[in-house]
């Protein structure tokens, strides 16, 4: 898939998160904002989410967490989101959702015990591969 298809797919899952999380209001990030994807307000409390939808994790057993792009910090390294909403997409069954506090995700990857890989458009992104079983406690 190309960038435009991936972007549309990601936007679709941002909207689907609204079916999972109770909310009073929703604000989608502005087009150039890379700090978060959506902000939900419920009973006066505001929470920002980074939303990921992963079609490969069901085959690889890992989720890919971006930490840098073009040699500069990005992804979890720079997010302003309170939570990562991580959907694992299965071809023949319902998706699974992991709601991971961003601080917990940073703690998980800080000790460098997971494999680093390159990926994304033009292999410009650096990611950490985290085994799905490391995230079970965050299953929604």
Domain boundaries, the chain: 3-138
pLDDT of residue 6: 60
Q: What is the pLDDT of residue 111?
A: 81
Distances in whole angstroms, Cα of residue 59 to Cα of each of 46, 54, 121:
35, 10, 20
Alpha-carbon distance of 137 to 128, in angstroms, equals 19
Q: What is the pLDDT of residue 31?
A: 82
* pLDDT score recorded for residue 11: 81
Burial class of residue 77, CB neighbours in 10 A (0-12, 13-18, 19+): middle
Q: What pLDDT shows up at residue 4?
A: 58
Give the global pTM: 0.90
Query: What spatial distance separates the first Cα and last Cα of the chain, rounded to whole Å?
Result: 28
Cβ 48 vs Cβ 101: under 8 Å: no
pLDDT of residue 44: 95
Helices (H), 18-139: 57-60, 102-110
Per-residue confidence of the chain (140 residues) as pLDDT tens digits?
A: 555 556 566 688 999 999 999 999 999 998 877 899 999 999 999 999 999 999 999 999 999 999 999 999 999 999 999 999 999 999 899 999 999 999 999 999 888 899 999 998 789 999 999 999 999 999 99
Assess contact for 82 and 47: CB atoms under 8 A. Answer: yes
* Domain at 3-138: CATH architecture: 3-Layer(aba) Sandwich (3.40)
pLDDT at 2: 57
In degrees, rounded to 5, the angle at the alpha carbon of residue 52 between the alpha carbons of residues 133 and 21 is 90
């Amino acid at each position: 898939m190309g960038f435009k298809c991936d972007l549309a797919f990601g936007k679709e899952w941002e909207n689907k998160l609204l079916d999972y999380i109770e909310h009073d209001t929703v604000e989608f990030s502005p087009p150039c904002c890379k700090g978060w994807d959506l902000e939900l307000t419920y009973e006066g409390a505001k929470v920002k989410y980074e939303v990921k939808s992963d079609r490969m994790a069901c085959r690889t057993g890992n989720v890919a967490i971006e930490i840098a792009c073009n040699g500069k910090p990005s992804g979890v390294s720079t997010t302003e989101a309170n939570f990562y909403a991580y959907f694992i997409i299965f071809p023949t069954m319902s998706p699974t959702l992991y709601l991971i506090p961003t601080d917990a995700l940073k703690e998980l990857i800080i000790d460098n015990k997971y494999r680093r890989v390159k990926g994304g458009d033009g292999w410009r992104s650096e990611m950490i591969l985290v085994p799905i079983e490391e995230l079970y406690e965050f299953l929604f």
